[in-house]
Amino acid sequence: MLIVQAAGWPIWPLIFCSLLALAVVIERLFSLRSNIIAPAKLLSDTLRVSRSGIPRQELVDQLASTSALGEVLASGLRALTANPRCKEEDLRATMEGCGREVAHRMERYLSALATIASAAPLLGLLGTVIGMIEIFGSQSPTAGVGAANPAQLAHGISVALYNTAFGLMVAIPSLIFWRYFRARVDSYLLTLELSADQFARHLNGLRQLA
């Protein structure tokens, strides 16, 4: 609390940003785990189960509930179940539509984290400017030129330095985690795209056998 008092009221928006960034990081670390997005053996298991035909509806629903990749694969199976003679382009379009929904969920809150990474230094700069204003305001016109109120001068310096430092302390980790999550999402999207392409060719073979 002593640091908060020394930094003055401009520190509160930065504290709010730091708590929000921490919540986003924890949530994304949990939501972007590989077993939730793209389990390693899910595609091979699905290919094996559906090699002789379309699985039962219960198995398709179970597949969709396993992970994001499972949702994409299940969408192709459901499209083929609804219309066994559907074209390969229609299968791919259905899976691509599901993939876009999955991609939107994976990118959730990343824009907020990027905004915090950009805004935190500016909020720190705002606190610095306010601290400088207090420093200049510490000059006492009644005590003669150059005289200053030492307590107000010290407080202005504290506000300026603490807000600058805290703004960077919030912005730097937020930027690092944003880049980490962005790269992780891009990697998952590539995995989903390649898996969907392979599964679409497999479904096209099932369609020709039907």
pLDDT tens across 142-193, in order? 544 455 566 667 767 777 788 888 899 999 999 999 999 999 999 999 999 9
User: Is residue 194 scored above 60 in pLDDT?
Assistant: yes
Percent of the chain at pLDDT > 70 equals 86
Question: Is pLDDT above 70 for 7?
Answer: no
Calculate mean pLDDT across residues 27-41. Answer: 93
Domain that holds residue 151: 2-209
pLDDT in the model for residue 115? 96
Q: What is the pLDDT of residue 6?
A: 64
What pTM did the predictor assign?
0.84
> Which range is least confidently modeled, 26-35, 55-64, 98-107, 125-134?
125-134
pLDDT for res 1: 60
Q: Which two tokens stand for residue 154?
A: 């010290």
pLDDT at position 158: 76
State the total domains in the chain: 1
Per-residue pLDDT at 104: 94
Residue 77 has pLDDT above 50, yes or no: yes
What is the structure's pLDDT at 137? Answer: 67
What angle separates helix 42-49 from helix 150-209, to the nearest 10 degrees?
20
- Residue 85, classed as helix, strand or coil, is coil
pLDDT of residue 107: 94
